[in-house]
Amino acid sequence: MAFSQLWKKRKFVAAAVLIDLMDEDEEPRRKRGKTRAWIRRRDEKGFFNNIVRELMLEDTVAYREMMRMSYNDFSQILSVIESVITPHQVMGGHKVISAAERLTLTIRFLATGETFHSLSFQFRIAVATVSYIVKSVCAAIIQFLGPIHMKVPSTDEEWLEIAQRFQDRWNFPNCVGAIDGKHIVMVPPANSGSHYFNYKQRHSIVLMAVVGPDYECLYADVGTNGRVSDGGVWNKCSLSQSIEDGVISLPPPKRLPSDSVFGLTEEVPHVFVGDDAFALKTHMMKPYSQHGLSADKRIYNYRHSRARRVSENLFGIMANRWRVFHTILMLPPETIEILVMAALILHNYLRRDSLSAPNAYCPTGLIDREDRRGKIIDGNWRQDMQPTESFLPLLVPSKGHNVSNDAKNIRDTFKDYFCHEGAVDWQWGLI
């Protein structure tokens, strides 16, 4: 099973959700009585047919602020999933909720984190229908946009292209991704006990992501219960298991770049970079312990951190743009998994493939940047973090792992390279 097949499994899950929803009543309704009068006035006074349409026509800037995207981007997304989320029948004389309104409702839920009850009053749609729409639209995004906008590398050429971009932008050769994980806080399901209880005394599921050099999500695994330890989260991840089992192959080892004929001649494996929550392995680099660091190890840690910050920024952008991740999610774990995957796919589309207004989704100053001396200037997302946010970091530094000498030697090779052939001018003043 290749990396692309792992994505197909995720796609099949979304397809199954869509099929299950299609088998249900198109518009969930109250068992007794007629539709409430204020809901029947949706066309005349609802949020979509008034403020949303006004902003479409009159204020494109405000529309982008409201939707996290331009109307052109919205239309492009809609064109891909419209046929799937458009109802095929009208139940009991109810007026059909258009595909555009369904997508708008879902985006507003992700962008604001408002409750289904709050959105029900704004859009004049019954709460049960709001829940149905959000879940079905997110499932459609995963199934039809996911394979295009969160395409997991499946060939050596694709991995090598990522490694080249890490080298060009972050001066870390042979790096194929930054790995990080976050706990997504939620209200636990009934009778779940301590199954989802994490180290922060909250209930959560874990999002594990591999992040590319341009803050794009290359791969994500969502759903491990928060009780699992830090190393256990990574070990349970389908990517880690596939690499360990030899199902997925990273590109063969390659010499580190050098302008000198006296540079390193040995070949170095392609690696991921992670923080202290991960174990050091031949394909996973982590920083040196902070205790008693020598100058060359501090240089390595700086260069490692510089490449790894793309993962921190991905989560920062996500929490800033999709405010649902600033809330404690009151949804079943299966629904949360679908929401997270859909938000990641939208992030990738809007970050890399926006048709217009490239700063609409990720405004200037939102992400970390560097000055001319290489000093990091924190992005605005860091000022936006709140104690109650849903994204919590993984556990304390990993302990008790049997680290191989090969893994240590690989990290030492990177360390020596960063201090000699691969040194950058500004690093010495930043350690």
What's the CA gap between 233 and 207, in Å, rounded? 9
Q: How many CA within 13 A on the CB side of residue 89?
A: 9
The model's pTM: 0.89
Residue 104 has what pLDDT?
97
What's the CA gap between 366 and 270, in Å, rounded? 30
Q: Do the beta carbons of residue 188 and residue 240 sit within 8 Å?
A: no
DSSP secondary structure, 94-141, as one string: PPPPPHHHHHHHHHHHHHH---HHHHHHHHT--HHHHHHHHHHHHHHI
Residue 17 has what pLDDT?
59
The single-letter DSSP state of residue 288 is P
Helix (H), strand (E) at residue 60: helix 60-67
Residue 388 has what pLDDT?
52
Residue 3 has what pLDDT?
45
Residue 94 has what pLDDT?
59
The token pair that represents 284 in the structure block = 């996973």
pLDDT tens-digit map of 354-366? 555 566 788 889 9
The alpha carbon of 341 is separated from its chain's Cα centroid by a whole number of angstroms, namely 7
Residue 25 has what pLDDT?
47
CA 194-275-363 angle, 5° bins:
95
End-to-end CA distance of the chain: 43
Residue 2 has what pLDDT?
47
Burial readout 199-208 (b: 16 or more C-beta within 10 A, e: otherwise): beebbbbbbb
Residue ranges in the chain whose pLDDT is less than 70: 1-33, 89-94, 229-232, 259-265, 353-359, 385-390, 395-402
The token pair that represents 24 in the structure block = 């249900």
Residue 310 has what pLDDT?
96
Name residue 199's amino acid: Y
Q: Do the beta carbons of residue 303 and residue 338 sit within 8 Å?
A: no
Residue 92 has what pLDDT?
46
Residue 93 has what pLDDT?
47
What's the CA gap between 187 and 283, in Å, rounded? 36
Q: Where are the alpha helices (DSSP H) in 276-391?
A: 295-321, 333-352
Q: Do the beta carbons of residue 211 and residue 192 sit within 8 Å?
A: no
The residue to which tokens 């991921």 are assigned: 272
